[in-house]
Amino acid sequence: MIAEAQDQEVAVMLFDVVLGYGAHPDPAAELAPVINQVRHISPQLSMICSITGTEQDPQNKSHVQKALQEAGVIVLTSNAAACELVAKIISLKNL
C-alpha cells in the first residue's frame, strides 16, 4: 500500500478485507497505521474496500467497518459495489 501510494499515477486503492476463522484476528488494527501512512503520503488518494464477513465472525464486521471508515476508507457492501465506485472515480479523473 505504501509503495502504491508513492506512485503519482495511482488515483484509487481498492482492497478487500476478509473476516472469519483463519483471517487476521484484528484486521482493522493491522491496516489502520498503514492507511494513516498512505493518507500522509497521498491525501488525494481514494481508498475503497469491501468487507467479507458477518457480525458473528470473531472480528465483528461492524467493528472492522467503523475502524476503517474512521481511518478514511470508503467501505462498500460488496466487492462489486466497490469496483463500480472505483470505475466511476477513474472515469472522472480521466476527464
Q: How many structural domains are present in the chain?
A: 1
pLDDT digits (tens, 9 = 90+) for 6-15: 999 999 999 9
Instruction: Give the domain extent around 28.
Output: 2-93
Which residue ranges in the chain fall short of pLDDT 50? none
Residue 83: HSE in the Cβ half-sphere, 13 Å Cα cutoff: 4
Residue 74: which region, alpha, beta or left (left: phi > 0; alpha: psi -120 to 50)? beta
Q: What angle do CA 7, 13, 17 make, to 5 degrees?
A: 140
CATH number of domain containing 9: 3.40.50.261
CA distance 74 to 46: 8
Q: Does the pTM exceed 0.85?
A: yes
